[in-house]
Structure formats: structure tokens, C-alpha cells
Amino acid sequence: MSHQVLARKWRPREFASLAGQEHVVRALTHALQTGRIHHAYLFTGTRGVGKTSIARILAKALNCEVGVGPTPCGRCSACVGIDSGRFPDYIEMDAASNRGVDEMAQLLDAAVYAPVAGRTKVYVIDEVHMLSTHAFNAMLKTLEEPPAHVVFVLATTDAQKVPITVLSRCLQFSLKNMPPATIAKRLREVLEAEGIAFELEALDEIGRAAAGSMRDALSLLDQAIAHGAGAVMTVSVREMVGVADRGEVGALINALVAGEGPALMARADAMVDQGVAPERTLEALAALVHRIALAQVGAVSVDDTMSAQVDAWAAHIAPEDLQVWWQIAIQGGRDLPWAPDPASGLTMTLLRMLAFRPGQPPAGRLSPPAAALAVPPATAPVAPAAVQTLSEFAGDWPALARVLTLSGIARQCVDRSALVSFDHDGFVLRAPIRAMTEAPLVAKIRDALTAHFGRPMRVSILSGDVEGPTVAGIDSAEQAQRLAQAQAVIQADPFVQALIKDFGAQIVPGSVQPTL
């Protein structure tokens, strides 16, 4: 006896076995119970969510020999024939390979004839968005007023490509992507019925890898059974789909919390050596960061082996750090194709997480406090480079920052920093990112201030939200003002106004730039 793949063997054959699409089942059940059957339906959704399966169940419900209703018997010749694809009044057409006007004309010509073996002819056109414009036009009239014995079911993965003239003639249902938990529950039912050993965590991994498609999940389950020699085990599933071990991802979080660069890189290299795809590592890291963030606001109720660790992280990691890590992980995944190789893209993304901390580390974190980044004053006096003295400084940090002899990231730091306080001995500044508080960078700024005032200076730089005037902020405001003035001049120009009035011309957004 030949083997039948699980995706075909466990395809839903009645509404009760259709998982994750309760809103569609509820509407169709009511329509069948009350006899309010529409002549054309449009099912939209990604692959493997049940579009064609619902069409077959609807066809059985309309043609079952027991009677029209939401629960076809599944045993009569009509039900068996539709399930096996041998019922003459159930016609499936793939629009991807039959997209022309000739094929559509042939289908419509046959639609006028009465059913051969059932009550209702059901025409299912899959991937209907692939039809040509002429084919769509040919079906419009029949779709609007079909014979009483005909029901059209259109299915598509891209509803935006279906003409509005077709959409307006159909009752439209949008099928949902299935959550991983719903997929895992269904896979458990299948494995228990098949008598196959499994681990729950393995099913969770397949549920996430299926990306909302039940058909893909069943195909992955078949593959997992073969890969695991007749059992579905977590280790083999992770190797099969290339996902990161949760413990390894947790170790990355621990290294980030501790600020331990060598440990972070060692973990990343080990995961690459184990064959885990860098994009999967970043996806798993983002998912864990998301869960920790939810735990901080009390929104996580799932109880598993990592719950205690997630709670511990939630108590010790600053919420702003989690937000930055999540954003960096997502952006890093998008940037992987542009990296010299995926492994270097992964390590640079992790190093970016380590470098960019938006605020002060919370108590208990192993990274140094901001106060430790204060640089002591230079021991040797330096000759003054300007006539200004510290007693003459009135708190205008942007003006002072402009005249300091700096370049590179040190120049960016003073331009983007705001003054927190100052006294006869030095300055306290606040920078927007933690990387600007590193000791070597602070030392360069201290030396520039020492050279400017002609006496040893002390400098401390904190990180966090910058409040107060900055060079960058002032320059940005001035640039915006110049741009607004330039736009106003262009708008008021008589020649431009004449072009707009006489020829319907438009000023292209972003095309106006100030000359200075």
C-alpha cells in the first residue's frame, strides 16, 4: 500500500476539522442552515490556510445526498467523489496555467448546462488573480448573474490583483494566518492519531517555522518524522529547520546583560558552527527580547521551562535596552544580505547591541556605571589656544562646542551633546547614545577643552535623553527654516504661479533646496 503524505491524509473534510478559520466556518454554516447561499465567493489568504479545502467542503455541503447542510455525511457518492476529485459537478481550475480568455469561455459555456450528478455545479478557480484581463472581462456577466445551479468559488493569495469589478460581485472572506499555538495543537492531534512519539517543544518549533500555513506545517511534520527516524524530537527538528536552541539564545542575552563582548562572540561563533542560520538566530533573539518585554508589563501567561529566567531578565534589564535590542535585531536581519557573509552580519549586529545603550545601566548590571567614565583632569598644564576663560563662559555649550578642535566621532559627540552642568573645574555633558561615553572619546573632548581654556579640565559624559540646546539641533532648525523660506520664495514666484495656473504644474516634493 502506497504512503499518503500527511498534508493530503489530514486535509480537512468537514467544517469541524478546519482549524483557525472560525469566522469563515461560522458564516458559511449559517448560510447553509438558512439557505442563503451566495452565487460567488472569494477566499483570500496566504498558502496553506484552507482556501481550497473550504471550497471542497462547501461543494460537499451543497451536493451531499443526505441533504444540503453544514455537516455533509462524507460517505455518499457525492462526498466521496468530491474528496477524490472525480465528481463531475465539482470543477477545479488552476488560473496560473489556464489564464486565457479561451479557457474561461470554455468553462462559462459549460456552466449553462444542468448538473450531471448533483444539485449544484461548483466551479473553483484557484489563484484567480493570475487570469488575464480579457479572461476577467469574459466572466463578469456570468459571475454577476450565473445560472441558479452554479456557485463560483474564487481563491487567491493576492487579492490586490483581482479587479474591483470582480470583487464587487463576490462575497469575500479573508482567511487568517494560523498562530503557532494553533498549528502545534493540530500537529499534536495528528501525531496522537498516527501513534507517533513526539516532544511538545518540537511541535512548537514546527509551528513557528510554518509561518501560518497548516499545509507547510504538515509537510514539515512529514520531514521531521523521517529526519527523526520515526519520532518528532526537538533536537532533530531544530537541526532540520535550522533554528537556534533556546538555551543558546538565552546565553546571548546573558552576555549582553553582562556587557561581555568575548562571551557574546564565542556564543555567536558556536551557533554558526552548529549550522544555525544567522537569520534564524536573530529571529529567535528578537522573539526572546519581545517575550521579556511582555513580561515586564505582566502580559506573559505561558508557563514553560524558561518562565523563571524570563522573569529574572525582566526584573534586571532596562525597558529601553530591550527596545533597542529588538530594533537592532530586526534591522540586522534585514541587512544580512548586504553583509560580506551572514556570520559577520550576525556578529556585527550583536556588537551593535552591545555598543548602543540608550540609558544608564540598572542596578545589578555588570557593566560600569556612567560615573566611572569620568576622565580625570590632565596633569600637565597646556598653553591656552583662545582668549576665552572659564569665568567668561555663560553656559552657551553649542557656541563653545563649535570652536573646539575636534573631528570624527568626537566632533559628533560634542555636536549632539547637551550641557548638564559646569563649574570652575569642568563640565558634565549628556550624549544620546552610550557609545559616546567611552573613556577614550571622553579623553579627546577633555583635551580639547583643556587646550581651549588653557588649564586642566574635568569632563564627565552621561548617556540618555538629551535635553537642552545642541549644535546638531540648532543646525537642523536653521536648515528647516532656510528650506521653508526657499519653498515660500518658489511658491510666490510669478513665473511658477503662472505655470501652475496655466498648465496644472506641480512642485515636486523634496525638489526645493536652499542655496546656502
Instruction: For strands 426-431 and 418-423, give the pairing.
Output: antiparallel
What is the overall mean pLDDT for the chain? 83
pLDDT band at 59; cut points 50, 70, 90? very high
Residues making up the chain, counted from first to last: 516
Supply the pLDDT for residue 372.
33
Average pLDDT over residues 216-231: 88
Q: How many Cβ atoms are within 10 Å of 30's Cβ, its own excluded? A: 11
Count of domains for the chain: 5
Please check whether residues 46 and 166 belong to one and the same domain: yes
Please check whether residues 204 and 306 belong to one and the same domain: no
Structure pTM? 0.58
What would the pLDDT profile of 442-469 be if each residue is shown by its tens digit? 889 998 988 888 888 889 988 888 888 9
Q: What CATH number is attached to the domain comprising 225? A: 1.10.8.60
Residue 107 lies in a domain: yes
Q: What CATH number is attached to the domain comprising 280? A: 1.20.272.10
What would the pLDDT profile of 321-342 be if each residue is shown by its tens digit? 888 899 999 988 888 888 888 8
Please check whether residues 228 and 258 belong to one and the same domain: no
Please check whether residues 266 and 119 belong to one and the same domain: no
Residue 362 lies in a domain: no
Residue 43 lies in a domain: yes
Supply the pLDDT for residue 287.
87
Burial class (CB in 10 A: 0-12, 13-18, 19+), 118: buried
Which residue, of 330, 355, 380, is where some domain finishes? 355
**Residue appearing with cell numbers 556588537:** 351
Please check whether residues 168 and 187 belong to one and the same domain: no
Average pLDDT over residues 115-120: 88
Least confident range of 193-197, 208-212, 487-491: 487-491
Q: How far is the C-alpha of 445 from the C-alpha of 460, rounded, in Å? A: 10
418-423: strand order across its sheet: 418-423, 426-431, 458-463
Please check whether residues 211 and 318 belong to one and the same domain: no
Residue 14 lies in a domain: yes
> What is the domain range of residue 322?
246-355
Supply the pLDDT for residue 480.
80
Please check whether residues 75 and 44 belong to one and the same domain: yes
Nearest to 285 by CA among 248, 340, 314: 248
Q: How far is the C-alpha of 66 from the C-alpha of 73, rounded, in Å? A: 7
Please check whether residues 75 and 160 belong to one and the same domain: yes
Q: How far is the C-alpha of 233 from the C-alpha of 306, rounded, in Å? A: 19
Residue 195 has pLDDT above 50, yes or no: yes
How far, CA to CA in Å, does 104 sit from each of 108, 129, 187? 6, 13, 39
More confident residue, 273 or 88: 88
Please check whether residues 152 and 33 belong to one and the same domain: yes
Across 57-66, 200-209, 221-230, 470-479, which has the greatest mean pLDDT? 57-66
Please check whether residues 29 and 130 belong to one and the same domain: yes
Residue 310 lies in a domain: yes
pLDDT band at 389; cut points 50, 70, 90? low
Please check whether residues 297 and 443 belong to one and the same domain: no
Residue 141 has pLDDT above 70, yes or no: yes
Please check whether residues 16 and 153 belong to one and the same domain: yes
Q: Quote the crossing angle between the two packed helices 471-492 and 408-416, to the nearest 10°.
A: 80
